[in-house]
A and B are shown apart, each in its own frame.
Chain A
Amino acid sequence: MARRDEDDRPSPESLLREAGETDGRGRLKIFLGAYPGVGKTYGMLQAAQERRREGLDVVVGVVETHGRLETEALLRGLEQIPRRRISYRGRVLQEMDTEALIWRKPALAIVDELAHSNVPGSRHEKRWQDVEELLDAGTDVYTTLNIQHLESLNDIVQRIAGVQVSETVPNHVLDLANEIELVDLPPDDLLQRLREGKVYAPRQVEQASRNFFNKGNLTALRELAMRVASERIDAQLLDHMSRHAVPGPWPTRDRVLLAIDDSTMAKQLVRAARRMAERQRVPWIAVHVTTAQDYGGRGGTGESADEALRLAETLGAEVVTLYTESNVADELLAFARKRNVTRIVVGHRQRERWRVWLRPDLARRLLDAAGFEVVVIGAQQTKPGRRQLPARPASRPVDWRGYLMAACVLAVAGALAWPVYMYLPLPNVSLVFTLGVLIVAIRYGLWPSVFASVLGFLIYNFFYTVPYYTFTVFRQDELFTILFFLIVSVLVGNLAARLRRQMQAMQVAVQRTNTLLEFSRKIAAAASLDDVLWAAGYHVASTMGGRVLVLLPDADGRVEVAAGYPPEDQLDLKDRSAAEWAWEKGRPAGRYSDTLPSADWLFVPLKSKDKMLGLLGVAFDDHQSRLTLDERKLLNALADQIAVALERSQMAASIEEARLISESEQLRSALLSSVSHDLRTPLVSIIGSATSLKAYRSQLSERDQSELLRTILEQGQRLSRFVENLLNTVRMSHGGLRLQRHWADLSEIIGRAAENVGSGRAAGRLSFDLPEDLPAVRLDPVLMEQVLINLLDNALKYTGESGVVGIAARQTNGVLEIAISDQGPGIPPGERDRVFDQFVRLGSDDGRPAGTGLGLSICRGILQAHGGTIAVEGGPGGRGTTVRVRIPVDPMPDPAAESSGQEQGTDMPAASTGGTGHG
């Protein structure tokens, strides 16, 4: 709706509405009539035909011709969507096929009778909801409406025509209309047409005209329709002025406040307030004040108030529920002042005069307050037979226990009063009874306490006043005592009972707060998505008392059940489509809602600020017919909290993902810098030495020349080792490292490794501790040499120029053990495992001896392929590092295989000679 709140600038809404189709919504045109038979459908079809001739894609969703021939003729040439057949209670009914229509997506859809109620089991309860969906889908809609079906006029129509209309359209649908065309026909003409049988089939005419179609009714309805249409034109004019910033006397800041009480006239009040707000074009607020009394009695808002509040919500009101202990008027006035309310609408109930005198009703007390315009609306006499609202729920079964206990307590009090009576003056006896009444009031509430007061009065009178054992009183002072007792005990009982109600109300409120608090704590503590889902399911189930589902979108963006309490993962078709609808539209759907109410589950969207995260589904086992406003609010509050928690856990997950990516990114760049550093460093010496040799050979001494040549050679070997390591790493990571096991002499392998590491560098710095009788072992000699080269290279690097690297080997119990010790700085115990990871080198980026950081990881890979282990320990004497290699070895083959073993011992165990020996 286009409403101005604070100023006269064009409101965004009005601009949007002006823009019409630009937001992708369809345009709605309503053909409004005062009563059936004015020719709305006819007019609509005429317009449709005209659009069709203009070349527009026009499709008829549904049209009721009521057998009128002229109307039927107009349908010719228009495409019609076949109706859907729905069986309901054994009858097959036809309904508009909304889905097919949306799927067909015409430019203009013709949908007759906006106020129609769909057969239970349809997509929506009401046809206007279907129309809303069509508009959402971007289809223009022509539709018809009789004024009597407009929600806010409902009771006026009832008053005028005496007809209760159950099929209503909320006013905001009227506001959706981009255009309203009033189809007018004077009452006399209509009556004429009726008589000619042009409106209804002849046999219905008589009945209809008697009940409804009399001239008085028709004139009143016609005036009503015209008024609505003209108000509408008025509104458009205002909109226009506002859009073009025409200064005018815009009502600003005014608000209408409607006080809703829990009575049958609540809905009537809502409609009246809506009309008032609409006429003044101001926002309105519907307020219901619940008192301690409500809580004591029922727990929450009453049914009538609840329905009225929902109605107010659909009519565009802001709905507020306030709580107070007892003083409704003060609470209302405080709220009204806070919200700049100028006018308060309140209902007035006929009450007995004495009750008004005892406690002035709300209207009167509001009238006493200064500063407000108070509109009091009297209850409309509804004829008993016409009442559509269910009678107030039959008063709760009387709790006889309270009265029984009251009788017992008073009996005890009567007995206890005897000794008091014996020794103390008479008035003291009344105290005993008052005590009894007090107890009853606190435990059982008001009415049992009143009952106890009367009972006390009788017992007192019967047993303790002269003449005894009669209900008559002779002495005047006794009469006063006993009367005062009655008054005091009723008052005390009343007070105590009120105290009890307030306590109960507080307990309910506290319990609810605690529930929410505990829930928010639980869900805030839940770290992972699973925890959040479980906490959500469990808690909502225990709070609301039903079954709970949480649905989340899957990879394709379809909602799927993600968690359930109790666990459940299947939804039947109806619930499934309700869930999908709710997911698509971001609005509640399913049971207790306007959309697909025949489903078993209610689905509430879990929305973060700007996107849908999932759905919360609830179902109650006892098929209760409605959710109270309190339950709705609680459900929404829970849904909000779940949404927050879901969003948080999703955020945490994406942060974790980003962290992993950045870590692997870091690893890659570490690899790159490491490889580039370690490949280049030897190249620096090689290129530098070579260019020096080339350019300055003549200026260099023999010794220097051979030094440079040696550098080139050594660094070339070093480069080749790096490349070998890199290749092996690649092979290992592709699972392509195959062992070529042969019988080999370990001393030889160690010798070659020592040589490869660099004769110059290693000279005199390696100390060997190898037993003479080290047996031959069966392993891959090439790869084992690589292991030893890497280990020796490392050891020499870290030991420094002057240190000594020790190599020891021995075989015990079928395990070959090689230990290589350096005298370097050592490795802290905590880091000793890490050195075997790829690209890990201790120290900063390139500020340590060269090495790819691949060596040890390759060693480990090779040894694991041999079934062996490698470990880093502290060096001998606590200095440096010892790397200990253990390989299980097969025993030497027996004489049978001796020849091959012999052969093996002498041969170089090159990879190409594989195949000898067996394992």
Chain B
Amino acid sequence: MDRQQTLLIVDDDIAIRRFLRITLEANGYRVCEAETGRGALEAVAREQPGAVLLDLGLPDIDGQRVIGDLRQWSDVPIVVLSVRGAEADKVAALDGGAHDYVTKPFATNELLARIRALLRARRDGPNASTQIAVGGLEIDVPERRVLVDGQEVKLTRKEFDLLHYLAGNAGRIVTHQQLLGELWGKAHLDATHYLRVHVGHLRKKLGDNPLQPRFIQNEPGIGYRLQVPAEDTS
């Protein structure tokens, strides 16, 4: 396998680090560990990991700050692993620059799937490209055309912008605030009902079933994620 990717585990609890290391190594990743926030920053600089699994409750500096500090100089994907399950914590972490958020306790396979999706979306290249293909979805940005399984779908301007933005961040949770700020402007950060309406239309046109979404996945109270299909799971 070509992805001898390095993952950084940041957690102060030794038992969690231990089982994560064993599990991730068994799945072919290289693993390095950090116990503190400062240790994490150093490790990212030293090891250039492919992704960071970050606990928020760290003994020295809070995880949210670690995200902020990292984002100053690195765009490494960050998956937050935390017992803090409140929406506010999730939104803060995602807005701060984390790509995903997994609430402890979690099942290992779910975590692994998230990590794979993130790494793949990243490998698929820079998100400013003119042609984006995610799963059965093809987006021609300059032409503003969208194909679902080869069939063209007519989208309104807003719907296209919405899809384009999600596709540009495929695999990653985009918070309501990020979407609203990007597509409607800073004045509408609280207008989540706009989002509901447009996402509803978009789903209908893409033939997406909200109960078992193929493309756009809702993270209740937090945001949306364009799923990266796991067709090439190994």
Contacts and interface: CB of A to CB of B under 8 A. Distances in A.
Interface of A: 676-677, 680-689, 691-692, 695-696, 699-700, 704, 707-708, 711, 714-715, 801, 843-850
- Which of A682, A684, A695, A699: most chain B CB closer than 10 A? A684
Pick from A677, A688, A704, A801 the residue with the most CB of B within 10 Å.
A688
A681 B13 contact: yes
B104 A681 contact: yes
B189 interface: no
Contact of A684 (B16, B22, B62): B16
A692 B22 contact: yes
A31 B143 CA distance: 94
A685 B16 contact: yes
Contacts of A699: 26-27
A692 B19 contact: yes
A688 B19 contact: yes
B114 to A, nearest CB: 14
Contacts of B12: 847, 849
B233 interface: no
Contacts of A845: 57
Contacts of B26: 692, 696, 699-700, 704
Interface string B9-38: 000111110111011011100000000000
Given A691-B108, A850-B13, 19 more contacts: A676-B83, A680-B105, A683-B105, A684-B13, A685-B15, A688-B16, A692-B22, A692-B23, A695-B109, A699-B26, A704-B26, A707-B18, A711-B19, A846-B56, A846-B57, A846-B84, A847-B58, A847-B62, A848-B59
Interface string B50-74: 0000001111101000000000000
Contact of B27 (A696, A707, A711): A696
A711 B14 CA distance: 9
Contacts of B107: 687-688, 691
Contact of B104 (A680, A696, A707, A843): A680
Contact of B59 (A676, A684, A692, A849): A849
Contacts of B23: 688, 692, 696
A848 B55 CA distance: 12
28 contacts: A680-B104, A681-B16, A681-B104, A683-B104, A683-B105, A684-B105, A685-B13, A685-B16, A687-B105, A687-B107, A688-B16, A689-B19, A692-B23, A707-B22, A711-B15, A711-B18, A711-B19, A714-B15, A715-B15, A846-B56, A846-B83, A846-B84, A847-B12, A847-B58, A847-B59, A847-B62, A848-B59, A849-B12
Nearest to B85: A676
A795 to B, nearest CB: 16
A843 B59 contact: yes
A684 B58 contact: no
Nearest to A673: B84
B104 to A, nearest CB: 4
B65 to A, nearest CB: 11
A715 B16 CA distance: 10
Contacts of B60: 847
B194 interface: no
A689 B23 CA distance: 8
Contact of A688 (B56, B58, B59, B108): B108
A708 B62 CA distance: 28
A692 B106 CA distance: 11
A691 B109 contact: yes
Contacts of A686: 105
B5 to A, nearest CB: 16
A704 B22 contact: yes
A706 B47 CA distance: 28
A791 B106 CA distance: 30
Contacts of A714: 15
A714 to B, nearest CB: 7
A451 B104 CA distance: 106
A716 B16 CA distance: 13
B188 to A, nearest CB: 32
A695 to B, nearest CB: 6
B82 to A, nearest CB: 9
Nearest to B112: A695
Contacts of A680: 83, 104-105
Nearest to A695: B109
B108 A692 contact: yes
Contacts of A850: 13
Interface in B73-119: 83-84, 104-109
Nearest to B20: A688
A711 B19 CA distance: 7
B105 A688 contact: yes
Nearest to B107: A691
A681 B55 CA distance: 11
A801 B18 CA distance: 14
Contact of B83 (A684, A689, A695, A707): A684
Nearest to A678: B83
Contacts of A677: 57, 83
Contact of A687 (B14, B59, B84, B106): B106
Most buried by A among B12, B13, B105: B105
A691 B15 CA distance: 15
Nearest to B109: A695
A133 B25 CA distance: 90
B92 to A, nearest CB: 14
Which of A692, A711, A714 has its CB near the most chain B CB atoms (within 10 A)?
Answer: A692
Nearest to B22: A704
Nearest to B24: A692
A716 to B, nearest CB: 11
A853 to B, nearest CB: 14
A627 B214 CA distance: 89
Kindly list the 9 A-B residue pairs having the minimum CB-CB distance in the complex, ordered from nearest: A846-B57, A685-B15, A692-B23, A689-B19, A691-B108, A699-B26, A684-B104, A684-B105, A696-B26
Nearest to A680: B83
A847 B108 contact: no
A846 to B, nearest CB: 3
A574 B60 CA distance: 72
A685 B83 CA distance: 12
A689 B108 CA distance: 8
Contact of B106 (A682, A688, A689, A704): A688
A684 B18 CA distance: 11
Nearest to A681: B13
